[in-house]
Structure 1
Amino acid sequence: MQIAYHYLKLREFYGDAEKEPVEVTLEQLAEVLCCTRRNVKLIVKQCQELGWIEWQAGRGRGNRSILTFNMASNDVISSWVRNKIDKGQYSQAMELMRKYDPDSSLHQQLTESIYKQFGIRSTSYNKGRIDLLRLPFYREMPVLDPVNATLRTELHMIGQLFDTLVEWDGSQAVFIPRLAVHWEQNRDGTEWTFYLRKGVLFHNKKELTSADVRHTLMRLGKLDSDCAHQKLDSPSCEWKILRIRSIEATHRYALRIQLDAPSSLLLHYLAAPQASVIPCRTHEYNERLPIGTGPFKLMRNDAEMVVLEAFADYYRERAQLDKIEIWILKELRTQKMPDGGLGGQPILYTHPFQIHTLAPTGTTIMEQTEGGCAFIIMNGRKQGPLLDPAKRRRLRKLLQPEKCVEELGGNRSGAAYSFFPDWSAAIAARLSVENETENAETEREAAAADTRVSLDTDDYQSSLQLYTHAILNNSLEQTARWIQQRCASAGILVHIHVLPYEQFSRPGALDAADIVLLNAITTNNREWSLMHVLLHANYGVHRFVDPVLSSELGQRYAAIARETDPAARSVLLQEVEALLLRHDALHFLYHLRQAAFYHPNLFGTEKINPYGWVDFRELSLRPE
């Protein structure tokens, strides 16, 4: 329907009057349509065939022709939009309506008709019936390769499409067999052997073997190619901290991993989303349509829709929902879904990226505090005022997390003192007891310290550069502005850079930052979660700390890897957080609230995963 675009452009230039002849030349039309005279003739001919115009050609070059518009612009827009809908291009249809006729009743009708498609239903499909869950989402998902997925929704999707060798059960504090049915280690913990399940199929029907697992783990090691010039045991290389010497497929269903030193972190890393197993030796693999062994197979992933279907050959229990459709509606970035526009079918989801205003009346809402938090990193490697620990400390005094939550509100559920909400709660309780015992003299000293924060700004001659990334509802940008205002009250200028996430996560994108603001995502796999936040290649905390602190952290990481007692290891993890705070390398701000509501006919919605979704494999539809 590119012809509709050309027709509307002509109507806009020559006015909206219909049935009124207009004198034109081919040269004028070519200029309006930004094309050649030859293409103008083709466009005119096509519009004539559609009955949209009448055309009386002038004789000779440069002579005027007579153009008469027969079709109202709204009718052409309507036809164009319906064509997009018929092709399943819903996002493009809404984009057209917003661009050409945002206030029309047709726009409202179209919006309502699309929104009523969402929810759950049992529908006819290939001479049978399937249970379908249809959801809206606000952006594309171009990166579903486990090794590169970092955002919440992508990590959720990884869990639906893939499996890992082992799974960490945080409630029982044990590792559960998944693709590996059994594993064992030698006496000194430097050699691990994993035995694979037989008959596990990838979505392309290829059987899983140890060659696939080796390929997956070797690929993870290559993630650290950017730091290949560093020593093998450099702590700034996330997967190299495991100190893997070799990975060998000893049998079709057996894999041996040899380490340079014992590591209690190995199983935690093998249970991480990035360690989801992919097939080797396939030309079908790509980031948009990856192949896994998970309960759902990815059938489509483009600018309009993501479609998953239950994988009938899944080695565990078959998913009960037959199909998941996620429609990409980019206007949800700026426009929330109407309360009454869901056809009475509540759907995912309100947590921090809220896409509808409120849950329908009477709906049960499930809530939890999200693992992880919003925090800032202070760059201890960049030349500037924040090289001075005292200035970093004064900046932290300005940015009180309690005030941030109080003044910004929204889905910020409480001040953060750790990456993990339960650790935060314990620290908050301790601080509350300490505050109650403070005497008046201590309070006066604190007030004087706050005054010094406001006055001591001589070394902030140029503005501090704060980098963050775009997110739905602009929650990080709002926080960045709050930081900017708090600093301005103390005479410190802050310049904000809001980058698209794709740019934010590129190597070197944050080198010019004095302050980096971001959300950390953590799960109950604490060892991997914390190490991932600290050692991520592009925006991990470790890459911004000064050399002295870097060396001390490296020693702490090695101690964590050596510690075999989980309770003692937890203490070491907390000490790493405390060390970073003592050096004022980072500053915690707030935790986020997750909430979800679902149709009562949808079973399995009792548990929200760490990414704010319910695992699709757990859902089923009440038969009616």
Structure 2
Amino acid sequence: MLALERYLTLYNRFAGAPGAGATAEASLEQVAEALFCTERNAKLVIRKLTEEGLIDWQAGRGRGNRSQITFREDREKLLLDLSRRYAEDGEYNKAFHLLQSYGEGTGANEKFMEWMSGSFGFRRQPGKEADVLRLPIFKTIMTLDPADFVYSLCSHMIQQIFDRLVLLDESTGQIKPAIAHYWEHNEDATVWTFHLRKGVLFHGGHELTAEDVVFTAERLRNGGKRNSWIMRSLEQVEAVSERIVRFRLVRPNWLFLKYASSNVMAILPAGLLGLSEEQFWKLPSGTGPFQIDEWKDGRLLLGANPHYYQSRAHLDQVEIVHVPQTEAIKAGMTSWQQLICDPTLRDVTAENGWIQIESRSLCTSLLSWNMKKAGPQRSETFRRIVNRLIDRHAMIRELSGYRDFPARGFFPELLGAHEPETDSLGPDEASRLLLEAGYDGTPMSLCSHPGHAEDVNWIADRCRRAGIPVEVRIEAPYTIHHVLDEIDLLFHALVFPEEDVSLIEGCEQEGSFLKELMSPELSIWTMESFDQALASEDPASRKAIYTAIEERLKGEAQVHFVLHMKFHTDYHPSLKGVRINSLGWIDFKDIFRT
């Protein structure tokens, strides 16, 4: 395949747009320059390409006479064939890199994406009687480390590979046994004891014990990880016996069972099986319903865990393919939600038998001001005017999609959620108020990742119409943290798979946008308020504290709540066991095809 890539490099450099049969002048020196090699190696490449019938090379005779190179293969066809071969071998990153490098001016990208779309969905692997689900994702899986993840995509994949001590039943809100079959606590919720199941095996085959739980908790507390917040009140964790583990806390935590059900506390093997952090996370081992068969080149391949203690998955394999978002948008690729069945059934209409379901949980979008940076946002009046410029109902009407209704807090309100806001501002009125407030026209930077590009551009337009110059910065999810000091306002979203714990995580997680951008004084007060909530056994008292946190955030206008969004999916009734989990994904374990 290397020879074909070199052919494409020379084609792009010398032939330009013409198809097969194009002839161009090229000196040996120019060929070496195009291939980033010596002239000696350039001769070897030319000989190889000539032998394979890809080019004709006619050496120039005499001083000053250039050689001629004739390209015998059509660039688009060759590029498409080579990209498909890479994809069929599971080397998706190479395929997309090839298309991005050589595809300009051809239809190869669009044809490749059309071919890719047809390869997604549910299918039975020929000759093996294996049920395989192949899905595209448009964001990168940043990490599979429970102690270090941020995004819901990573959390969902972690949930497939690892298990927790207990599970939260999303439909009832009740805690159910998982790795632990029984638990107990003392009177003030400072000591929690878990009794572990026998026969829970890691994917490598060895049995889980209390030492694995101790290692996981200690790693969270002492590892300086992004999610170390969850062990902030841990005083001691000990293996009482091989099957009993005890947590001692420095302060009461009546939500500790929910902590234990969080993907952050997914149980790892003690000592990471003797491997370094880098080695282990290349192919991590857990106790979950799926094990990693391969993770590289833009592909995560999950195989059913045949020894899973809560019954084997119906699917034999799940293949997750990373498709660059820019390519997916250009090609109009259907999202994974519409590709969970036979690709020939992708005409998603009720008339064709498709069924739509939505998640019980939701995602809330927010705007967080950078209170640690000088700029117009240091004025509370300015922040309030910008908030009033954002007419949530107009935003929903004009952008539609997954945007459901305006947000006035972290969680949906029971009453009045769909009523129009009465205090939104038009651009002329906002301009007048900004002038009265002394705003001098200082430009403002508004940042988000590509998934929120429509939202931030809509908000930026509203601000510009009121006389606020706005620079929109679209950053990849993994680079936003590197530019937080440079921006004035961030559009982001929180997913709430579980209300209490998810809210605490959103405010306390290391690197959390809420925590990083709010004033230090407000951040400290928020953490102290959460400690009060955890010490209360009464859910109503905890809710009152969360409301007080919301009200202070709104009162100081450091954070603006924008929209609530629900997760939806469509599926064909030939696929059974489909449901959207609290992270906005379908659970792979229970899916099967009739």
Shorter chain as denominator, the TM-score bin is: 0.7 to 0.9
Compared CA separation, residues 347 and 164, structure 1 to 2 (3 A): farther
Compared CA separation, residues 163 and 2, structure 1 to 2 (3 A): same
Compared CA separation, residues 213 and 24, structure 1 to 2 (3 A): same
| Aligned equivalent of 1:412 | 403
**1:181-196 → structure 2 map (5 Å cutoff):** 181-196=181-196
Compared CA separation, residues 412 and 369, structure 1 to 2 (3 A): farther
Compared CA separation, residues 348 and 215, structure 1 to 2 (3 A): farther
| Aligned equivalent of 1:119 | 121
| Aligned equivalent of 1:41 | 43
Compared CA separation, residues 583 and 116, structure 1 to 2 (3 A): same
Q: In the TM superposition, what is the alpha-carbon distance from 1:368 to its structure 2 partner?
A: 4.3
Counterpart-to-counterpart distance in 2, 1:444 and 1:412: 18
Q: Which amino acid in structure 2 is aligned with residue 214 of structure 1?
A: V
**1:191-230 → structure 2 map (5 Å cutoff):** 191-222=191-222, 224=224
* 1:510 correspondence with 2:510: no
Compared CA separation, residues 30 and 263, structure 1 to 2 (3 A): same
SS at match of 2:182: strand
Q: In the TM superposition, what is the alpha-carbon distance from 1:155 to its structure 2 partner?
A: 1.6
Select between 13-22 and 259-268 the one with higher mean Cα deviation.
13-22
* Structure 1: runs of 5 or more not aligned: 227-235, 350-355, 436-442
Q: Is the 8 A contact 2:356 2:568 kept in 1?
A: yes
* 1:277 correspondence with 2:267: yes
Compared CA separation, residues 392 and 199, structure 1 to 2 (3 A): same
Q: Which amino acid in structure 1 is aligned with residue 514 of structure 2?
A: V
| Aligned equivalent of 1:470 | 450
Q: In the TM superposition, what is the alpha-carbon distance from 1:445 to its structure 2 partner?
A: 12
Counterpart-to-counterpart distance in 2, 1:338 and 1:174: 35
Counterpart-to-counterpart distance in 2, 1:49 and 1:589: 63
Q: Which amino acid in structure 2 is aligned with residue 487 of structure 1?
A: C
Q: Deviations over 1:554-590 (max 9, x none)?
A: 4422210110012332232222222221222211111
Q: TM-score normalized by structure 2? A: 0.87
| Aligned equivalent of 2:234 | 244
Alignment counterpart, residue 608 of structure 1, candidates 563, 569, 580 = 580
Q: Is the 8 A contact 1:27 1:62 kept in 2?
A: no
Counterpart-to-counterpart distance in 1, 2:295 and 2:85: 21
Q: Deviations over 1:351-377 (max 9, x none)?
A: xxxxx8955852222234751311111
| Aligned equivalent of 1:290 | 284
Compared CA separation, residues 504 and 361, structure 1 to 2 (3 A): farther
| Aligned equivalent of 1:373 | 364
Counterpart-to-counterpart distance in 2, 1:137 and 1:445: 38
Counterpart-to-counterpart distance in 1, 2:490 and 2:590: 37
Counterpart-to-counterpart distance in 2, 1:333 and 1:95: 16
Q: In the TM superposition, what is the alpha-carbon distance from 1:418 to its structure 2 partner?
A: 2.0
Counterpart-to-counterpart distance in 2, 1:141 and 1:387: 35
**1:375-390 → structure 2 map (5 Å cutoff):** 375-390=366-381
Compared CA separation, residues 152 and 37, structure 1 to 2 (3 A): same
**1:554-593 → structure 2 map (5 Å cutoff):** 554-593=527-566
SS at match of 1:317: coil
How much identity, in percent, do the aligned residues show? 30
| Aligned equivalent of 1:426 | 415
Q: In the TM superposition, what is the alpha-carbon distance from 1:307 to its structure 2 partner?
A: 1.1
**1:298-317 → structure 2 map (5 Å cutoff):** 298-317=292-311
Compared CA separation, residues 77 and 542, structure 1 to 2 (3 A): closer
Alignment counterpart, residue 521 of structure 1, candidates 495, 505, 524 = 495
Q: Deviations over 1:513-559 (max 9, x none)?
A: 33221011101x21101111111221342343335434543442221
Q: Deviations over 1:15-34 (max 9, x none)?
A: 45877987754324323433
Q: Is the 8 A contact 1:505 1:539 kept in 2?
A: no
Compared CA separation, residues 361 and 286, structure 1 to 2 (3 A): farther
Q: Which amino acid in structure 2 is aligned with residue 279 of structure 1?
A: P
| Aligned equivalent of 2:393 | 402
Q: Is the 8 A contact 2:148 2:225 kept in 1?
A: no
Q: Is the 8 A contact 1:224 1:240 kept in 2?
A: no
Counterpart-to-counterpart distance in 2, 1:256 and 1:516: 41
Q: Is the 8 A contact 2:446 2:490 kept in 1?
A: yes
Q: Deviations over 1:30-78 (max 9, x none)?
A: 2343321111121022112212234466789998666555444456445
Compared CA separation, residues 74 and 212, structure 1 to 2 (3 A): same
Q: Is the 8 A contact 1:380 1:544 kept in 2?
A: yes
Q: Is the 8 A contact 1:141 1:288 kept in 2?
A: no
* 1:533 correspondence with 2:523: no
Counterpart-to-counterpart distance in 1, 2:407 and 2:376: 25
Q: Deviations over 1:171-223 (max 9, x none)?
A: 43332111111111223322222111111111111211111111111222235
Counterpart-to-counterpart distance in 1, 2:564 and 2:402: 9
* 1:453 correspondence with 2:444: no
Counterpart-to-counterpart distance in 2, 1:481 and 1:149: 28
| Aligned equivalent of 1:617 | 589
Counterpart-to-counterpart distance in 2, 1:376 and 1:146: 26
Q: Deviations over 1:67-113 (max 9, x none)?
A: 55544445644553454355244564466457656787877765544
Q: Deviations over 1:465-487 (max 9, x none)?
A: 3232222xxxx222222222222
Q: Is the 8 A contact 2:32 2:38 kept in 1?
A: yes
* 1:499 correspondence with 2:475: yes
Q: Deviations over 1:250-281 (max 9, x none)?
A: 22222111111211132222211111111122
* 1:486 correspondence with 2:477: no
Q: Deviations over 1:496-528 (max 9, x none)?
A: 22221101145xx413333221011101x2110
Compared CA separation, residues 58 and 535, structure 1 to 2 (3 A): same
**1:94-109 → structure 2 map (5 Å cutoff):** 96=98, 100=102
Compared CA separation, residues 158 and 32, structure 1 to 2 (3 A): closer
Compared CA separation, residues 61 and 104, structure 1 to 2 (3 A): closer
Q: Which amino acid in structure 2 is aligned with residue 510 of structure 1?
A: L
Counterpart-to-counterpart distance in 2, 1:190 and 1:106: 62
SS at match of 1:428: coil
| Aligned equivalent of 2:331 | 335
| Aligned equivalent of 2:172 | 172
Counterpart-to-counterpart distance in 2, 1:23 and 1:371: 61
Counterpart-to-counterpart distance in 2, 1:17 and 1:385: 56
Q: Deviations over 1:418-474 (max 9, x none)?
A: 2223xx343537x77x97xxxxxxx99999986753443523442233232222xxx
Select between 148-157 and 402-411 the one with higher mean Cα deviation.
402-411
Q: Which amino acid in structure 1 is aligned with residue 532 of structure 2?
A: A
SS at match of 1:393: helix
SS at match of 2:205: coil
SS at match of 1:617: coil
Counterpart-to-counterpart distance in 2, 1:538 and 1:20: 54
Counterpart-to-counterpart distance in 2, 1:97 and 1:237: 41
Q: Is the 8 A contact 2:381 2:437 kept in 1?
A: no
Counterpart-to-counterpart distance in 2, 1:108 and 1:447: 41
